[in-house]
Amino acid sequence: MGPCHTVRLTVDEHAWRRWFTASAFLASVAGFVSIAASHVCLGLSAALFFLRREAVRMPPIGLPLSAFMLWTLASAAASPDPAAAGPQLKKFFVFLMVPVVAGAFRTAGSARRLTEAWFVIASIAVSVGVFQFVRSALRISASGQDFTEAYVVDRITGFFSHWMTFSQAVLVVFVALVSYLAFAKRRPGFGVWRLLAGWLAAGLALSYTRSVWLALVAAGLYFVAVCRPRALLLVPAVLAAGFYLAPQSIRERAASINVASNPARIVMWRTGLRMIAAHPWFGVGPQQVGPRFHEFQPADVTELPPAYYGHLHNVYIHYAAERGIPAALIVLWLFAKIVLDLTRALRSRPRLRDDRRFLLHAGIAGTLAIAAVSCFDVSLGDSEVLAVYLGLVAIAYNGVDPPESNL
């Protein structure tokens, strides 16, 4: 009975591992196509995770994530409308992506294969986006409208519902792909990934999303500083050359990155600061920024510029206004911890191409990109973007501790 019992447990363990890995893979990849399908698979993964929690290694970011959840609950309790916080509390479900992905892809090799799947599915999403761009360009041309003015209100979305979601999700994958090309071990077919990198870059250019372009500059500066630090002196010239060689509509969009062209953002941020001053500890309450916007609108703003005022287009101001200054500080703590943990691990790594080094750099650059884009949008409030970012962070921590295998 003893030997038979041991064999049965071994088989069960293998079956659990297969189901857990498959559901985690689908949860991570399906998010680029269907958030509903991704959440179903994540729910299955989470159920399997709780069956054998001892078999899963959680990255050391549980404390800031837990602190953020607890402070959000406290803010909801202090809110004049606690029930309205429901949608934000439901987003905690996405945090399960961290233990699920980290537990399913425990080795650098398996993490690399997951990112390769991201590269492919993101390229398919960009292909859909390019088709949408061509269709929009033909329609706008036939109507005789100004292209930039007409296009920015109806941009490419890929499989997503909004262009901001599309561009930010592709941004995270593109940064991971650049890190893959720069630091991963070369294997047959490496040229294919270069082609996909160019394709993703084209999709990001056609998104006309200025905040993502600025985040690309931030991530690019990081890669240049790591790979060719002396080339940092050439960055201004390269950016200037890229600007003047770009199509006119892209130049117009890039030139609009200034205060005069974005009065709505200034009004939002000023209003957010007034909310923070009035409610510094717990904010106005989750989901209350939009409903209470006019209550804190600056007195000298008599007419709001056309824009969406449901959030404040800045993660740090928005969370401080909505949930209190501690919530914004916790987000900064999370970003800083990830970057410091991965940087420390890199210092102990030999400067050779391998999968662990690629994962560490991808996690750092991805965090810098998300931190930068968060200055202009509530990126972490979008479940699709949050899921792909947390997935990247989860596998990036594979580079911190020695993996079981690097195959």
What does the pLDDT average to over 36-42? 97
Residues 95-122, mean pLDDT to the nearest whole number: 95
Exposure string for 274-296, b = 16+ CB within 10 A, e = fewer? bbbeebeebbbbbbbbeebbeeb
Higher pLDDT, 395 or 52: 395
* Structure confidence at residue 189 (pLDDT): 85
| Across 45-49, 55-59, 165-169, least confident range | 55-59
Ranges 49-58, 276-285, 305-314, 366-375: which has the least confidence: 49-58
Burial of 201 (0-12, 13-18, 19+ CB in 10 A): middle
DSSP assignments along 158-207, one per residue: TTSSSHHHHHHHHHHHHHHHHHHHHHSPP-TTHHHHHHHHHHHHHHHHHT
Single-letter amino acid code for the residue at 328: A
pLDDT at 227 over 50: yes
Q: Look at residue 4 in the predicted model and tell me its pLDDT.
A: 41
In the chain, pLDDT over 70 holds for what percent of residues? 95
Q: What is the mean pLDDT of residues 199-210?
A: 97
Residue 95: both structure tokens together: 């945090």
Give the separation between CA 27 and CA 36, rounded to whole angstroms.
Answer: 10
Give me the pLDDT at residue 7, please.
39
Chain-centroid distance of CA 364 in Å reads 12
- Cα first-last separation, the chain: 36
> Mean pLDDT over all residues of the chain?
93
Look at residue 54 in the predicted model and tell me its pLDDT.
66
pLDDT at 193: 97
**What average pLDDT does this structure show over 263-286?**
98
Mean pLDDT, range 37-50, rounded to an integer:
94
Contact predicate 184/152, CB 8 Å = no
pLDDT number for residue 352: 86
23-45 mean pLDDT: 96
How much is the pLDDT for 165?
97
Q: What is the mean pLDDT of residues 296-318?
A: 96
Lowest mean pLDDT among 81-85, 223-227, 256-260, 283-287: 256-260
Q: What is the mean pLDDT of residues 61-86?
A: 97
Domain boundaries, the chain: 2-265+301-399
Mean pLDDT of 327-352: 94
Q: pTM value?
A: 0.94
Checking if the pLDDT of 57 tops 80, the result is: no
The pLDDT tens digits of the residues spanning 127-176 come to 999 999 999 999 999 999 999 999 999 999 999 999 999 999 999 999 99
The predicted structure's pLDDT at residue 3: 45
At 247, the pLDDT band (50, 70, 90 cuts) reads very high
pLDDT class of 402 with cuts at 50, 70, 90: low
Task: Report the percentage of the chain scoring pLDDT > 90.
Answer: 87
Run of H or E residues at 294:
helix 293-296
Residue 5 has pLDDT above 80, yes or no: no
